[in-house]
Amino acid sequence: MAFYPPAVAREDAAPLAAAARAYATALAPAEEGVRVRLLTMLALRFPVAASLSDAEAAARMNLLIDDLAHLPADLLDLACRRAALSSRFMPTAAELIGQVREEMGERQRRLYRLDRLAREAGRAAPRSRPITDNERAKVAAGLAKLARRLGRSTTRRNPQSNKTKTGD
């Protein structure tokens, strides 16, 4: 059976937790003022339907602002920029979310993985140091002693010569 060392050590817990906090911050929703500014700038790029009253247009904008409350500011900005270049009419909330779905999903996956690794590191053993030559020699001597007690010879033949070598 092969031995695979743990992916993380206890010393990794604090940096991983800090990285997870940074990703959580990157997922923080945009403040309402930022959403209003970005969506207003987007709306100015598109024609207003003549059939909409000012009250209806304001109500639709308020709904859009509320529907996008979960998006971080930078992703909302990116969604608005992409929509401005690709849409002929004012996009819906679903269309704007679709513009940044992959980026949002990637941030959420990274946050999940960093959280999981930080928890795993908190439970992990401290990182071990390399074995020294002296320790290796002690282990080899102990194994040789155990082999003798079990009645096994620690001598082996060198197949290229007829001389006998003493094993570790």
Let me know: does 35 contact 66? Beta carbons within 8 Å: no
Provide the residue range defining the domain that includes 149. Answer: 133-166
Same domain? 17 vs 85 = yes
Co-location of 117 and 141 in the same domain: no
Count of structural domains within the chain:
2
Domain identity same for 91 and 159: no
Q: Are residues 16 and 79 located together in one domain of the fold?
A: yes
Question: Does 111 lie in the same domain as 156?
Answer: no
Question: Are 63 and 118 members of one domain?
Answer: yes
Residues 78 and 142 in one domain: no
> Per residue of the chain (168 residues), what is the pLDDT tens digit?
454 445 677 788 888 888 888 889 989 999 999 999 999 999 999 988 888 898 999 999 999 999 999 999 999 999 999 999 999 999 999 999 999 999 999 999 999 988 888 888 888 766 666 667 887 787 778 777 777 777 755 555 555 555 555 554
